[in-house]
Amino acid sequence: MTSAATPTTARAPAGLSPARRFQNTVMGGLILLATLIVVAPLILIFFYLLKEGIGAMNLNFFTRVPAPEGETGGGLLNAIAGSVEMLLMASVIGVLVGVAGGIFLSEYPRHPLMPTIRMLSDVLAGIPAIVMGLVAYGLIVLKFGFSGFAGALALGFLMIPIVVRTSEEVLKLVPLSVREAGLALGLPKWLVTLRIVLPAAAGGIITGVMLALARVAGEAAPLLFTAFGNPGVNLDPRGPMSALPLEIYRGATSAYDENQRLAKAGALLLITLIFVTSLLARRFSRRR
C-alpha cells in the first residue's frame, strides 16, 4: 500500500540529439496531460461540491433533521447518525468474517478448501452492491421489515471481500521465521496465529478495514430497500434508518432548492470523510 515512486520531471540527459530531445519533451507532455485527465474529475467534483455545498454546512446541518418540503433550516443529523451507526455495525461484520477469511487463506494455504474459498471471495468482490442489498432484503427485511441492521448487513457483506484480501496479504508479509519461533517455543498454531502473527499484521489490517469502510460509506443502492431511510433520527437498529447516500439521492432528485443544497452538502461531507479515511489508512500503513 505504499505510494508509487515519486515521478521525476522528464528531463532529457545532456548530450542528446535535438530530435530525441524534442521527442522526450512531447512524450513527457502527453504523460502529464493524461495524468491531468485522470485527476481532473476528482478535482472538479470536489470544487463543485465545495462551492455549492459549503454554504449549507452550518450548525443546522449537523444538528437538525431535514425540514418539511418547501421549508428551510433543516439538516442531515438523521443521515449522519444513521451512516455512523450502520458503518460501525458493518465493520463488526466485515472485520470478524473478513479477518477470519484472511487468516484461513494466509495460514492454511494447503487446506483442500483453500482454492475454493479464495475463488468465492474474489467472486464476492465482484457482486454488485445492489445485489448485496437484495440478499439482506431476503434475509432480514422480508421477515422483520426495513431496518438499520439489514442495511448494515448489506454493507458488511460488501466489506468482507476487501478485508479478506488485504488481511491475507498483510498476514503473508509476516516473516515465516516469526511463526517458526512461536511454534518452536511449544505454542500451538492457533495461539501463534492469534497472539503473534495477527498483532504483527494489525496495522495493515486496520488499513484494509478503513479502505473497505471508505468504499461502502458512499453506497446508496444496497440501502434503498434495507435501511430504507428515515426523516427522523433513529438509533434503534431494528427500525428504518437514514444514511448520507440515501439523503443525497432524495435531495438531489427533489424539486426544492433547499433539499438540493442539503444533498450537495451531504455529498461534500461524504467525500471529505472518505478522503480523510483514505489519508488515515495511508498514514497507518506507512507508520508500520
Partner 1 sequence: MTQTPPVILSAQNVDIFYGDNRAVKNVSLDFRRGSVNALIGPSGCGKTTFLRAINRMHDFTPGARVAGKILLDGQDIYDPGVDPVSMRRRVGMVFQKPNPFPTMSVFDNVVAGLKLTGVRDKAQLMQVAERSLKGAALWEEVRERLNTPATGLSGGQQQRLCIARALAVDPEILLMDEPTSALDPASTAKIEDLMSELKKVTTIVIVTHNMHQAARVSDTTSFFLVGDMVEHGVTDQIFTSPRDERTEAYVSGRFG
183 binds partner 1 (CB under 8 A): yes
Work out which of 191, 233, 252, 280 binds partner 1, going by CB under 8 A.
Answer: 191
Output 180 or 257, the one with its CB closest to partner 1. 180
Work out which of 67, 202, 221, 280 binds partner 1, going by CB under 8 A.
Answer: 202
Work out which of 17, 41, 59, 110 binds partner 1, going by CB under 8 A.
Answer: 110
Choose one: 88-96, 171-179, 224-232, 235-243; the region binding partner 1 (CB under 8 A). Answer: 171-179
* CA distances in angstroms from 98 to 85, 153, 207, 235, 237, listed in the order given: 19, 13, 13, 26, 22
Question: Minimum CB separation from partner 1 for residue 122, in Å?
Answer: 24
Distance CA 202, CA 173 (A): 11
Query: Beta partners for 84?
Result: none
Question: Minimum CB separation from partner 1 for residue 38, in Å?
Answer: 37
186 binds partner 1 (CB under 8 A): yes
Output 204 or 229, the one with its CB closest to partner 1. 204
Question: Rounded to the nearest 10 degrees, what angle do helices 18-53 and 257-287 cross at?
Answer: 130
Distance CA 95, CA 200 (A): 16
The DSSP annotation for 165-211 comes to HHHHHHHHHS-HHHHHHHHHTT--HHHIIIIIIHHHHHHHHHHHHHH
Output 99 or 270, the one with its CB closest to partner 1. 99
Question: Minimum CB separation from partner 1 for residue 171, in Å?
Answer: 13
* CA distances in angstroms from 280 to 89, 99, 107, 275, 283, listed in the order given: 20, 20, 28, 9, 5
Element (H, E) at 90: helix 77-107
Output 191 or 252, the one with its CB closest to partner 1. 191
5 binds partner 1 (CB under 8 A): no
Output 194 or 276, the one with its CB closest to partner 1. 194
Output 109 or 145, the one with its CB closest to partner 1. 109
- The binding site for partner 1 (CB under 8 A) comprises 110, 174-175, 177-178, 180-188, 191, 195-196, 199-200, 202
